[in-house]
Amino acid sequence: MWQAEAVAAKLRAVAPGLRVELTVVETAGDMNLDRPIGEMGGRGVFVKEVQASVIEGRADIAVHSAKDLPSTTPPDLLLAAVPERGDPRDALVGATLAGLGPGARIATGSARRRAQLAWLRPDLTFDDLRGNIATRLAKLPPGGAIVMAAAALERLRLRPGVVDILAVAEMVPQAGQGALGLECRLGDVQTITLLAAVNDADAFACVSAERAFLAAIGGGCDLPVGAHATLDGDVMAIEGIFASLDGKVVLRDRRSGPRAEAASLGSDLGRSLFAAGGDLLAPEAEQRSASS
């Protein structure tokens, strides 16, 4: 709701007098809180019903957390804008990474977060975590921590005691984390033009590179993969990880080049990491993708 209201405010600011109404849609990811995301099909469980509302004409714009979007857009839709991005990093809530005792419990529903934390701290134990922000904060394990997107805490202005923002060098974020993805119907020129006014070109380029990485590596919420792109002028750098589910192996690499080649940089990095996984990681990825 915060995301939708923020986008509505941006649209009203660029088009004074524009009437914007919110259409609330409940997704499979919202309704099935007792099942891990990977069991429901992984990436996409929070977006399909929202996309259907736009395709069927019940809404004109879909507002998504970009990290929830599948790497390919439905043929009837267009990813038209990515507004200014929030903090892409992950955060530990309840304890710092260094302050966690031996065998401390970490609650997270993300295979990516679990694998990278297990790589950093093999002694840690993990609980699954689903639900909205308030529900997650209420499930803080005694002596442990939960993992959340730093942007969620920032947007909702939450200060839940101890918060340790993890540097990208410690934990590579999910592709698109901290960003919003705004979709509309393909060919809806009026809405496409409106959304162009709230698009952030740098954020769009970075998210495009990260989504290209995801498409090339073939993973989503159900696989331990992550990507983070940055821009320095017209030079883009993208870093990615591909890990085993138990976190015993974490492959990490990066690419850099012109921002005009954002998609190819992401694709090249994804293909390279997937190939480097060889017999150890590729069968695991294929098995998980097939089951979804």
Q: Indicate which residues carry an active-site annotation.
A: 68
Range scoring the smallest mean pLDDT among 14-23, 49-58, 71-80, 155-164: 155-164
Residues 140 and 205 in one domain: no
Q: What is the C-alpha separation between 273 and 216, in angstroms, rounded? A: 9
Residues 12 and 127 in one domain: no
What value, to the nearest 5°, has the Cα angle with vertex 202 and ends 108 and 75?
75
For residue 219, the model assigns a pLDDT of 59
Please identify, among 166, 197, 224, the residue that sits at the C-terminal boundary of a domain: 166
What value, to the nearest 5°, has the Cα angle with vertex 60 and ends 182 and 195?
45
Average pLDDT over residues 92-121: 95
Residues 206 and 272 in one domain: yes
Residues 72 and 182 in one domain: yes
Residues 10 and 148 in one domain: no
Residue 287 has pLDDT above 80, yes or no: no
Report the CATH number that the domain containing residue 33 is assigned in CATH: 3.40.190.10
In the chain, how many domains are there? Answer: 2
Residues 181 and 256 in one domain: yes
The residues with which 1 forms a beta bridge, in sequence order, are none
User: What is the percentage of the chain residues whose pLDDT exceeds 90?
Assistant: 71
Is the overall model pTM greater than 0.85, yes or no?
A: yes
Name, in order, each residue with C-beta under 8 angstroms of 21's C-beta and a sequence gap of 6 or more: none
Residue 161 has pLDDT above 90, yes or no: no
Residues 253 and 187 in one domain: yes
Closest CA to 91 of 140, 152, 46, 139: 152
Residue 133 has pLDDT above 90, yes or no: no
For residue 28, the model assigns a pLDDT of 57
Q: Quick one: pLDDT band at residue 281, thresholds 50, 70, 90?
A: low
Range scoring the smallest mean pLDDT among 129-138, 163-172, 179-188, 206-215: 129-138
Q: Quick one: pLDDT band at residue 40, thresholds 50, 70, 90?
A: very low
How remote is the C-alpha of 277 from its chain's centroid? Answer: 22
Tens digits of residue pLDDT in 212-269 = 999 998 755 467 999 999 999 999 999 999 999 899 989 999 999 999 999 999 999 9
Q: Helix 201-217 crosses helix 262-291 at what angle (to 10 degrees)? A: 40
Decide: 280 and 29 in contact? Cβ < 8 Å: no
Please identify, among 166, 196, 213, the residue that sits at the C-terminal boundary of a domain: 166
Please identify, among 127, 146, 166, the residue that sits at the C-terminal boundary of a domain: 166
Residues 283 and 183 in one domain: yes
Residues 197 and 281 in one domain: yes
Average pLDDT over residues 273-285: 67
Residues 119 and 195 in one domain: no
| Structural domain range at position 111 | 90-166
Residue 285 has pLDDT above 60, yes or no: no
Residue 10 has pLDDT above 90, yes or no: yes
- The mean pLDDT value of the chain amounts to 88
